[in-house]
Amino acid sequence: MYLKDHFLIGGKHSVPNGNEVSGVICPSTEETIGTVPTATSADIDQAVDAARRAFDEGPWPRMSLADRVEILMSAYRILQPSIDEISRLTTAEMGVPITVATNGYTPRALALIPSLTKLVDQIVFEEERLGASSPALIWREPIGVAAAIAPWNGPFMNAIGKLTPALLMGCTVVYKPAPETPLDAYYFVDALYEAGIPSGAVNLVPGGREVGEHLVRHKGVDKVSFTGSTVAGRRVGAICGEQFKRVTLELGGKSAAIVLEDADLEVTGKALAMAAFGNSGQVCASFSRVLAPRALYDDVVELLADRASQQLVGDPFDPKTTMGPLVAERQRDRVEGFIASGLREDARLVTGGGRPVGLDKGWFVEPTVFADVTTDMTIGREEIFGPVVGVIPYDSVDEAISIANQSEYGLHGGVFSSDVEQATAVARRIRTGTVSVNGYLVNFDAPFGGVKCSGIGREFSVEGLLSFSEQKTVNYPLGLPDRSGAV
């Protein structure tokens, strides 16, 4: 049992203002594995006040970049021996298979820290510009207090991916993890304070949707970084728009993978299986629409069905398991509702569609493949967030691109072809923030984010770091000051 009775506010274990406690449920056993206090508006106020004081008066924004980097890297070193422990917790919280968590998910999340600390060296924090009228200095400064709100489908990755860039740039942060997966963040925030981060620079307050909105609306917050559904993102964006508050929104997706006629089906099958069934399909960037040419259509459908049948669905703590449960009963109900709509709207169920035999406990759904899907079907339009993929036929590359672009989403996409130049040309025409060619990859060394209803702004890489900064221009009509002694 992971029992937490406190928040982390102002560098201290903070006693909650309310009495409500949230249970953390293991999705494979339906048993409670831990508890955390549920934040109230008063707790959010305390956290924002602590972050505000730390930004306005404290040392963190005024430290040298090298000192901030050293504290982040010290936290990284503190966390390294806990990789297996954090992996087990992630598996218990959300059901990702332990082999995936231990060999990929947790170490990759942790590797974001040294990756981002190296990338920050590419940022120019002060620049001289000699204009036609007068010279100027351009400063890049931390944006202020950042509110970071994360979803449940990658808890440790989200904690590191949101907190690290904000902190490196000199912001102070209030972090609200999802109620379903709040425990991983305690590891990172505890490590930051053990590493010597100043009081109030980072604050951790688990809570639900209501306090999340209070945090977004809080006048003490300068920037919101939100990852979640498009429905919730619209609400967050509207509030930030009212206040002209800076915002990054990483939202939903209905990403299309276009299989061209010369695609290597072995390479394609491996990537499509990972993209459709990895993390039980609970990935915003998953390929839930596969567009196949009629000449290869049956082959692609058969390929996906075969890959689905190879998934070992079961106990996520079993090293042999490749696909675990969905995160919650409501999520399984949602996915089963989409499967029912596919049957109702005459999509052809090729494989899956039910609950795995013998798994009476846990929120499991079979990996599911639909054929003969059209763009007007619910499963062809809406984000499912489960292990369900629909195969859509096309007659020409132009038609495939048109189908891909019909979606209101634009987060990710894929193109599969033996001709990389041709694939690149197709990728250029897809309206989406990211495209993977002959694979499935979210590249943390490159900017990640969406267009249309998939969000605003970019995360990771240099662009993600820059999103936590503002530019200030200082004009010098009589000439620049002597900066020979500047550090």
pLDDT at 131: 80
pLDDT at 442: 81
**Could you read off the pLDDT of 51-71 as tens digits, one per residue?**
999 999 999 999 999 999 999
Asked if pLDDT for residue 485 goes beyond 80, the answer is: no
Top CATH class of 2-251+450-473 equals: alpha beta
Mean pLDDT of the 307-322 span: 98
pLDDT at 484: 67
The CATH H-level (homologous superfamily) assignment of domain 255-437 is Aldehyde Dehydrogenase; Chain A, domain 2 (3.40.309.10)
**Residue 487 binned pLDDT confidence (cut-offs 50, 70, 90):** very low
**Could you read off the pLDDT of 305-314 as tens digits, one per residue?**
999 999 999 9
Mean pLDDT of the 75-104 span: 97
Mean pLDDT of the 338-349 span: 98
**Could you read off the pLDDT of 417-430 as tens digits, one per residue?**
999 999 999 999 99
pLDDT at 132: 82
**Residue 486 binned pLDDT confidence (cut-offs 50, 70, 90):** low
* Residue 11: φ, ψ to 5°: 80, 10
pLDDT at 483: 72
**Residue 437: burial class (beta carbons within 10 Å; 0-12, 13-18, 19+):** middle
Asked if pLDDT for residue 259 goes beyond 90, the answer is: yes
Q: Roughly what angle, to the nearest 10 degrees, separates helices 184-194 and 155-168?
A: 30
Mean pLDDT of the 247-265 span: 98
- Report the percentage of the chain scoring pLDDT > 70: 99
Residue 126 structure tokens = 């002060």
Determine contact, residues 295/263, Cβ cutoff 8 Å: no
Calculate the average pLDDT of the chain.
Answer: 96
**Could you read off the pLDDT of 139-153 as tens digits, one per residue?**
999 999 999 999 999
Mean pLDDT of the 128-134 span: 87
**Could you read off the pLDDT of 224-252 as tens digits, one per residue?**
999 999 999 999 999 999 999 999 999 99
**Could you read off the pLDDT of 455-479 as tens digits, one per residue?**
999 999 999 999 999 999 999 998 8
**Could you read off the pLDDT of 429-440 as tens digits, one per residue?**
999 999 999 999
Mean pLDDT of the 9-24 span: 95
Mean pLDDT of the 289-317 span: 98
Q: Any idea which residue has 């634009």 for tokens?
A: 410
Mean pLDDT of the 206-224 span: 97
Asked if pLDDT for residue 411 goes beyond 60, the answer is: yes
SS3 per-residue string spanning the chain: CEECCCEEECCEEECCCCCCEEEEECCCCCCEEEEEECCCHHHHHHHHHHHHHHHHCCCHHHCCHHHHHHHHHHHHHHHHHHHHHHHHHHHHHHCCCHHHHHHHHHHHHHHHHHHHHHHHHHCCCEEEEECCCCEEEEEEEECCEEEEECCCCCHHHHHHHHHHHHHHCCCEEEEECCCCCCCHHHHHHHHHHHCCCCCCCEEECCCCHHHHHHHHHCCCCCEEEEECCHHHHHHHHHHHHHHCCEEEEECCCCEEEEECCCCCHHHHHHHHHHHHHHHHHCCCCCEEEEEEECCCHHHHHHHHHHHHHCCCECCCCCCCCCECCCCCHHHHHHHHHHHHHHHHCCCEEEECCCCCCCCCCCCCCCCEEEECCCCCCHHHHCCCCCCEEEEEEECCHHHHHHHHHCCCCCCCEEEECCCHHHHHHHHHHCCCCCCEECCCCCCCCCCECCCHHHEECCECHHHHHHCCEEEEEEECCCCCCCCCCCC
- List, by residue number, the catalytic residues: 250, 284
Domain assignments of the chain as residue spans, ordered by start: 2-251+450-473, 255-437
